[in-house]
Amino acid sequence: MIPGLGALTQDTLWCFSQLKGTVEIGATEADIISTVEFNHTGELLATGDKGGRVVIFQREQESKNQVHRRGEYNVYSTFQSHEPEFDYLKSLEIEEKINKIRWLPQQNAAYFLLSTNDKTVKLWKVSERDKRPEGYNLKDEEGRLRDPATITTLRVPVLRPMDLMVEATPRRVFANAHTYHINSISVNSDYETYMSADDLRINLWNFEITNQSFNIVDIKPANMEELTEVITAAEFHPHHCNTFVYSSSKGTIRLCDMRASALCDRHTKFFEEPEDPSNRSFFSEIISSISDVKFSHSGRYIMTRDYLTVKVWDLNMENRPIETYQVHDYLRSKLCSLYENDCIFDKFECVWNGSDSVIMTGSYNNFFRMFDRNTKRDVTLEASRENSKPRAILKPRKVCVGGKRRKDEISVDSLDFSKKILHTAWHPSENIIAVAATNNLYIFQDKVN
């Protein structure tokens, strides 16, 4: 990795690379992308959608002839991960929408990922088959049984090359452990366990065992009338297998240590920014609800996303974040209508780049924002079909708040709130990003000079 690569200096220019998905306006709801995730090497990129399907893209090998074109992502495998269900006992419709995908680190030739909907987590194995045995004694080439009386000689079957076939098989189904809707899954650094979190509980699983899980956090009050907050996201520490964090709808983060007790209801650390009571409004709690929490790759920081900001916290300082970035503060004067059209409840995710120097998150009008933590520079870019020519450089966008609007700027009232970028992903070591814009997937790369 080239030193400095990943920093958003003024020399970093983002270019369009690829666009996946259809152009037609009549795209179905099932096509809406609900999660995007690179694997640990960045070789694979997985997407999940509302229709319960997973599509995995693989980066092609870079050819020496095309130095200026970095490896593109092509479809590698696609499968139906979850299907719609109906819980007759509770009269609950269970959506097939894939809420999260998390990759396991690669340990052999096959790839493994976890995918989850509201109720069930599944472990999928994606493997390649490029050889097949030929020359069976008891079967002919079409697989029909041969009459043993006609066999006069014996032969040893040999493996012959065949066209590459990628197959996805569900290896484990972790079901019936969540009463409420699963919002997060996170693979532990021990590679043996993972956690799944719903609105009120977090469970710890062993990959090998599907009929049991340990409950490690339970915030359900004895009397549901006293419910004041729910769990919104959870993640394991990238290196310490005993540590995890979870965020709440009240804008707080709790760090827990599984060595302290079996049930981690008592947190080890509690991160909360003090609020100015004079600024409190009806919207305060709603916009402080954390929609995503992510550890930095270093494990030293956590990043949280609430409705209007992204915050970086140092694990060693609980009383306030060390950095706060405004994503779209101009929406503060629109909160009434955003509440009425439910947009105020949109759950945006946030991501770190490979070196933890830049953070990225989405906004409305198909805008997404990047913040360089070192230079304190930020940029707003747009995922649009108009800027979809190969290697076209993305032009920074600007939202005009009031007064005179310059030619290239867009006014707050012209923003399209139905075009929201909730899910983005950053390649683990390179400046390649995947941005999900409703039913389209955009891949951008930085300009190769």
Partner 1 sequence: MSAEVPEAASAEEQKEHSLLLWFVQPLILSNLEEMEDKVTSPEKAEEAKLKARYPHLGQKPGGSDFLRKRLQKGQKYFDSGDYNMAKAKMKNKQLPTATPDKTEVTGDHIPTPQDLPQRKPSLVASKLAG
Query: Are the beta carbons of 265 and 313 closer than 8 angstroms?
Result: no
Taking the least distance from each CB to partner 1, the nearer of 77 and 304 is: 77
Structure tokens at 333: 């004067």
- Indicate the DSSP class of residue 158: E
389 binds partner 1 (CB under 8 A): no
Report the candidate in 234, 206, 242 with the shortest Cα–Cα distance to residue 218: 234
The piece of 85-93, 233-241, 314-322, 388-396 that touches partner 1 (CB under 8 A) is 85-93
Q: Which residues contact 447 (CB under 8 A, 6 or more apart)?
A: 12, 13, 14, 15, 391, 393
72, 128, 218, 229: which one binds partner 1 (CB under 8 A) = 229
281, 326, 341, 418: which one binds partner 1 (CB under 8 A) = 281
Q: What gap in Å lies between CA 436 and CA 233, rounded to an integer?
A: 20
21, 71, 354, 362: which one binds partner 1 (CB under 8 A) = 21
Q: Compute the least distance from the CB of residue 396 to partner 1, in Å.
A: 25
Q: What gap in Å lies between CA 371 and CA 356, rounded to an integer?
A: 11
256 binds partner 1 (CB under 8 A): no
Q: What gap in Å lies between CA 47 and CA 434, rounded to an integer?
A: 10
Query: Are the beta carbons of 266 and 260 closer than 8 angstroms?
Result: yes
Q: What gap in Å lies between CA 252 and CA 34, rounded to an integer?
A: 25
Query: Are the beta carbons of 426 and 371 closer than 8 angstroms?
Result: no
Q: What gap in Å lies between CA 42 and CA 207, rounded to an integer?
A: 23
Q: What gap in Å lies between CA 250 and CA 19, rounded to an integer?
A: 37
The piece of 75-83, 139-147, 187-195, 391-399 that touches partner 1 (CB under 8 A) is 75-83
385 binds partner 1 (CB under 8 A): no
347 binds partner 1 (CB under 8 A): no
Report the candidate in 286, 187, 312 with the shortest Cα–Cα distance to residue 230: 286
273 binds partner 1 (CB under 8 A): no
Taking the least distance from each CB to partner 1, the nearer of 95 and 446 is: 95
Taking the least distance from each CB to partner 1, the nearer of 284 and 411 is: 284
Structure tokens at 200: 């009120």
Q: Which residues contact 381 (CB under 8 A, 6 or more apart)?
A: 14, 367, 368, 369, 370, 394, 396, 397, 444
Taking the least distance from each CB to partner 1, the nearer of 297 and 332 is: 332
203 binds partner 1 (CB under 8 A): no
411 binds partner 1 (CB under 8 A): no
Q: Compute the least distance from the CB of residue 307 to partner 1, in Å.
A: 12
Taking the least distance from each CB to partner 1, the nearer of 22 and 411 is: 22
H-state helical runs in 18-82: none
Q: What gap in Å lies between CA 294 and CA 245, rounded to an integer?
A: 9
The piece of 104-112, 137-145, 326-334, 418-426 that touches partner 1 (CB under 8 A) is 326-334
90 binds partner 1 (CB under 8 A): yes
The piece of 156-164, 257-265, 284-292, 317-325 that touches partner 1 (CB under 8 A) is 284-292
104, 264, 441, 443: which one binds partner 1 (CB under 8 A) = 441
Residues of this chain that bind partner 1 (CB under 8 A)? 20-22, 27, 30-31, 33, 47, 49, 51-53, 55, 75, 78, 80, 83-84, 86, 88, 90-96, 118, 180-181, 199-200, 224-230, 249, 279-286, 332-336, 339-340, 439, 441
